Structure 1
Amino acid sequence: MPWTLAAVGSLACTAAFAQAPSNVPLDRQVDEAFRQVMGAPGDMGVGMRYAQLLVQAGNYEGGIAAMERLLLDPAAPASIRLELAALYYRLGSYSMSESLLRQALDDSRLAGEQRAFAENLLRDVTKRGQVSQLDGLVVLGARAQTNPAGRTSQGTVLAGGVPVAVADAFKPKSDTDLQLMLRLDHRYDLGTQNEATVVSSLVAQVIDFSSSSGSQLRVNQAQPYNLALAEVTSGIRFKPSPANMQGLALRPHLILGALSAQGHRYLSNHGLGLDAEYRIDERTLVDGGYEYRDYSYASRIDVPDAKALGGPDNLLRVRLSRELGPGRVLTGELRGRFHRTDRAYYDHDGYEMRLAYSASYANPLTQSGGYWTTTVWGGVQRRSYGATDPAVDPATSRRDTEWRIGIGNVIPLADSWSLLLQLEHMKTSANLPNYRNRNSSLYGAVAYRF
């Protein structure tokens, strides 16, 4: 189910949040719960509260040990095995999680939403234990935008350094589009001690604007392009030092991509990359990577100097994710992109910073509607170009600053179906009026995960 991971993150701590006084520091609550356990070692409720507080504090291994002690009692409720299975799942111990889930489901006392959650988690765990695993996502949506073509918001622009009025055809215009996206992820476990796995992904997307039709190419196209893109990556993910640095994983991979516009080839790229991730602790993950792509543009009537536009592109990124509490994640990311062409005024270096906060919570409309996930984000990107463009202004090199903010929500509809809603605003400030623009978009989609 779309909310499975969020539920895993919050299930084991729900009771602790409901019972813990907000004005008492968490470490003091843990200490007090431990003293209560020592005073009443046979009290199941006291022992469970202590285990949940340990988990809430980020001490998952301590929480697991506390819950396993409770299972020594033959009368222990099935919900303890379910919460313990969720913790093992979070730590990647899928065989232990599967065993506990099967025991919990064999207990007739497990009922209602807990039983449904256990069944869904068991299907996920069983799949993860297979040598060959295929996951997929299909998204069908519609989007409305105020300025999808990124037209300047200024009344005049520069042509050879001389101000000229913007023609009506090239002023910002709102538009809507339909989108269809497919993502396939395949993993093949090689069965080695360093957990080597062949990981391959396919991403394909089609975007059809209501104002664009046919496949006729024009000079100075005024309408936004209908687009079709596809990208394939494949490489081996492994842990280079599973004994000494269990949390480190690397994935060198190959990249192949293509983009068509108005039914004609627009550009293609190929290259290679290296993904890396390191789990510092149960709540903190650092990941990043490097990608090299070589771009090649197709010669067509609407792409002047096509050969000059192509060239190497280098991308560096690093991201830090911190789980602040059950279902609440804060993420910060830094990116640097360095693009080179056959014309210095097309060359540019870009630096970007992104920040996102995500929270998962029980469906506010019904008690058995799964978990909603809301994400808010913001970012800023600065681009500097390598030389002046004589066609725009022979005296000034282009510099842009792009600001972006947004909010999105994922709402589960059924076992594998979910509703996606997203609102975003983007504004670009530039030292040249030709590139100052803004755009707001509203996106809604239905997603199916298999």
Structure 2
Amino acid sequence: MSRARSVAALAALVLFGTAMALAQSAPTDAELRAESDALFRRMLVKPNDLDAAFRFSEIETQLGDYEAAIGALERMLFYNPNLPRVKLELGLLYFRLHSYEMARSYFDAAIASPNTPQDVRDQVAKFLAAIDRGVSDNQFSVFAQIGVRHQSNANAGPDSQVVRALGQDAVLSSQFKRTPDWNAFGIVTAHHFYDFDNQRGDGWESDLTSYYAQQFKVHRLDLGLVELATGPRIALGAGTGMSIHPYVLGNYVTLGGRPYLGVLGAGVSTRFQLPWGVTLDPGVEYRARDYRNSKDYVNATQQNGHQIIGSITGSGPLPILAGLSWQSRLSVSKSTASYQPYAYDDYTAEFALPYAFTAPAFAQTERAWTVSPFLGFSFTPYAEPDPIVDPSITRLDRQWRAGATLDMVFFENFGFALQVQYLRTLSTVTYTGHAIANISNNGAQYIAAGTFTNQVNFAQRIGMVQIAGLDTSSYGGVVNFAQGSPNLFSGVLNSGPSNRFLTLSGQFFQGGSTNTTPLFGEMGGNFSITGPNNYLGSGVFAARKP
């Protein structure tokens, strides 16, 4: 692990601030400087005011003046030497200045007292290990994991064998329908950093990732991957914790035991170490993707193209509970393809809440266990319809995933991990339009109109219909495709509190004055409404896809 990375990873262990500070809007540098000056004058008058000294140190740390923060904390120890948390923070500040021996002395002092809290001891142990790595020019770390995984839908197949092909309903071969399976997998990652030893934290950083998964039944999904990324990491200012990392990368993927994908690319990322232990890593990456056809994937080369990815990852502690932190990633990508229907954009958001806690007694380890619930969402619109599937429908995927991981350490760096994940992918097309109805409301007759939306999932042959603002009511519900029909649908919607029900029947059609819009390009139909107090209605709707 590099010195810069050590700082970024370990600074998240110490909080400079309180929950109230996070809850308020962040003060400006000018406001912080004014408060710092006032505190400095207070310390001149009353040098043993430890609260003022600690707040002064906190502000100077936020402003990046680590030397001033160190001076304030060391004065606190002069008046009260038995402050292990102050010694811990002094160790961190010297660590960020790459003064490792001074950092080590304060870390050792922080754990010398028998009254030092266990959480401080745990944090110090991680810093001391990082110092041992940081003083070496060649820093090397390896992570390895093996396991078994069960997938309720290993091949991401549809629930029904009725699918779209050439714009019509077709029966999918049974080998491609939803199939559960197990696999055995292995992961090995290696990180190397060569320190240029220029006291700035500059060096050369390389990461190697390898993965292989062997399916028990669906062997066309056996997956192998190896990827290498390498490039310099350059510090941006001494002691700031900021750095820039340009790199080149390449990877090789096998699928079904045969060559599937080769990638060459390059990217650049920047690391920012913010107050309160927050780390942000924005970056951009380019990949040239070269696919290979095989007997299981005869049209893989139609995906050949370029990919540009912009992302930002972040992490930091949450002061509401000791051991709780957050991690997040936002990304936007654009992927081209030689066969245009395979081109797509992707928008992804991921969030996790790792919580480190004391391992149970039976584990017989001083290392913490970690449970990490996570949530993710991806929105993936494709470039244009695929005529092989349906010439009138452009694919749009929405994927939700949620789960939790439990990392259990039993001895040194050896342990077990348990992960449970639920993933749901919806491929839909949204039709928008209007609904208009004749209303009879307890004898009164009038016309009302509202907006109409139908989010259609052709694979599941259902639609999620919303009619909003129709005579002060909004209706929602599911419509189902008619049995044996590719274009008829019907269903019942309800309005919730007003207790009105809307029975709807409709169909897809081309439309237009010369019937020139694509097949399934539009929809229309009729509906009837019933409700309490002699409420009746009947009307029509029409909508089209973008």
TM-score of Structure 1 vs Structure 2, range by shorter chain: 0.7 to 0.9
Change (3 A) 1:412 1:86: farther
Match of 2:521 in 1: none
| Segment drifting more, 376-385 vs 64-73 | 64-73
Secondary structure in 2 matching 1:345: helix
Of stretches 72-81 and 333-342 in structure 1, the one that deviates more from structure 2 is 72-81
- The residue that corresponds to 2:285 in the other structure is 291
Compared CA separation, residues 350 and 108, structure 1 to 2 (3 A): closer
Q: 2:138 corresponds to which residue?
A: 132
Q: Which of 239, 242, 264 is the equivalent residue of 2:258? A: 264
Does structure 1 residue 349 correspond to structure 2 residue 355?
no
Match of 1:242 in 2: 237
Equivalent residue, structure 1, for 2:385: 388
1:409 to 397, 406, 409: 406
CA apart distance, 1:265? 1.1
Partner SS, residue 147 of structure 1 = coil
Aligned length: 405
Question: Which residue of 273, 288, 297 maps to 1:303?
Answer: 297
Is the 1:98–1:126 Cα contact (8 Å) retained in structure 2? Answer: no
Residue 26 (structure 2) aligns with: none
Q: CA separation of 1:116/1:278 partners in 2, compared to 1, >3 Å: closer, same or farther?
A: closer
1:12, 1:87 within 8 Å by CA — same for their partners in 2?
no
- C-alpha contact 2:220 2:257 (8 A) present in aligned 1: no
**Helix, strand or coil for the counterpart of 2:315?**
strand
Q: CA deviation at 1:329?
A: 2.4
Q: Which stretch has the larger CA shift, 188-197 or 338-347?
A: 188-197
Which has the higher mean CA deviation after the structures are superposed, 300-309 or 77-86?
77-86
Alignment of 1:362-401 (within 5 A): 362-363=358-359, 365=361, 369-401=366-398
Deviation, structure 1 residue 350:
1.1
Measured in 1, the distance between the counterparts of 2:291 and 2:168 equals 30
2:355 is matched with which residue?
359
Structure with higher Rg: it is: 2
User: Secondary structure in 1 aligned to 2:154?
Assistant: coil
Q: Deviations over 1:47-88 (max 9, x none)?
A: 699969987xx9796986565335437974878645643565
Contact 1:272/1:293, CA 8 A, preserved across alignment: yes
Aligned residue for 2:148, secondary structure, equals strand
Cα distance, 1:400 vs. partner? 1.0
Distance 1:281 1:109, change over 3 A: closer
Q: Deviations over 1:322-378 (max 9, x none)?
A: 432253323343211111111111111111122222222333557964322222221
Q: Tell me if the contact between 2:212 and 2:223 (Cα under 8 Å) persists in the aligned partners.
A: yes
- Note if contact 2:94-2:102 (Cα within 8 Å) is conserved in structure 1: yes
Q: 1:249–1:119: structure 2 CA closer, same or farther, 3 Å change rule?
A: closer
Q: Distance in 1 between matches of 2:325 and 2:96?
A: 14
**Aligned residue type for 2:275:** D
SS in 2 for 1:199: strand
- Change over 3 Å in CA distance of 1:53–1:372 after alignment to 2: farther
Q: Distance in 1 between matches of 2:103 and 2:79?
A: 19
Task: Give SS of 2:105's match.
Answer: helix
**Aligned-pair CA distance for 1:204:** 0.4
Residue 249 of structure 1 deviates from its aligned partner by: 1.5
Larger RCO (CA within 8 A; separation ≥ 6): 1
Against the structure 1 CA distance between its residues 387 and 116, is the aligned structure 2 distance closer, same or farther, given a 3 Å change threshold?
closer
Contact preservation (8 Å) 1:334, 1:353:
yes
Q: TM-score, normalised by structure 1?
A: 0.75
Distance of aligned partners of 1:75 and 1:358 in 2 relative to their CA distance in 1, 3 Å threshold: closer
Q: Which residue of 309, 315, 327 maps to 1:331?
A: 327
Give the whole-Å Cα distance in 1 for the aligned partners of 2:163 and 2:329: 34
- Does residue 280 of structure 1 match 2:274? yes
Q: Output the TM-score relative to the length of structure 2.
A: 0.63
CA distance in structure 2 between the partners assigned to 1:294 and 1:401 by the alignment: 25
1:180 aligns to what? 186
Question: Aligned ranges for residues 426-441 of structure 1 at < 5 Å?
Answer: 426-431=423-428
- Partner Cα distance (1:50, 1:384) in 2: 55
Q: What aligned pairs does 1:140-155 form with structure 2 within 5 A after superposition?
A: 140-155=146-161
What secondary structure does 1:393 align onto? coil
One-letter identity of the residue aligned with 1:128: G
Is the counterpart of residue 421 in structure 1 residue 418 in structure 2?
Answer: yes
Q: Is the 8 A contact 1:12 1:83 kept in 2?
A: no
Match of residue 212 from structure 2: 206
Which secondary structure state, in structure 2, belongs to the residue aligned with residue 195 of structure 1?
A: coil
Deviation at 1:262, TM superposition (A): 3.0
**What's the offset of the Cα at 1:230?**
0.1
Whether contact under 8 Å (2:104, 2:128) holds in the other structure is yes
Structure 2 counterpart of 1:348, one-letter code: Y
Query: Which ranges in structure 1 are unaligned for 5 or more consecutive residues?
Result: 21-36, 213-222, 438-450
The amino acid of 2:380's aligned partner reads R
3-state secondary structure, aligned to 2:78? coil
Q: In structure 1, what is the Cα distance between the partners aligned to 2:101 and 2:402?
A: 41
Paired residues of 1:339 and 1:349 also in contact (CA < 8 A): yes
Moved more, 86-95 or 299-308: 86-95
Q: 1:93 to 1:404 in 2, by over 3 A?
A: farther
The SS at the match of 1:177 is: strand
CA spacing shift, 1:92–1:428, aligned 2, 3 Å:
farther
Q: Given that residues 360 and 373 in structure 1 are in contact (C-alpha distance below 8 angstroms), is that contact kept between their aligned partners in structure 2?
A: yes
SS in 1 for 2:263: strand
Q: Deviations over 1:263-283 (max 9, x none)?
A: 321111111111112223242
Q: Which deviations, in whole Å up to 9, do the C-alpha atoms of 1:284-314 show, x marking residues without a partner?
A: 2221111111111123222223332211111
Q: Cα 1:339–1:434, aligned 2, differ >3 Å: closer, same or farther?
A: farther
Give unpaired runs (5+ residues) of structure 2.
Answer: 1-7, 21-42, 430-456, 462-546
**What is the identity, as a one-letter code, of the residue corresponding to 1:414?**
F
SS at match of 1:173: coil
Pairing partner for 1:160 from 166, 172, 175: 166
Q: 1:229 aligns with which of 225, 230, 241?
A: 225
Q: Percent identity among equivalent residues? A: 22
Tell me by how many angstroms 1:193 deviates.
Answer: 6.0
Q: Work out the CA distance in 2 between the residues paired with 1:376 and 1:314.
A: 29
State which drifts further: 341-350 or 280-289.
280-289
Secondary structure of 1:397 counterpart: coil
Residues 145 and 275 of structure 1, relative CA distance in 2, 3 Å threshold? same
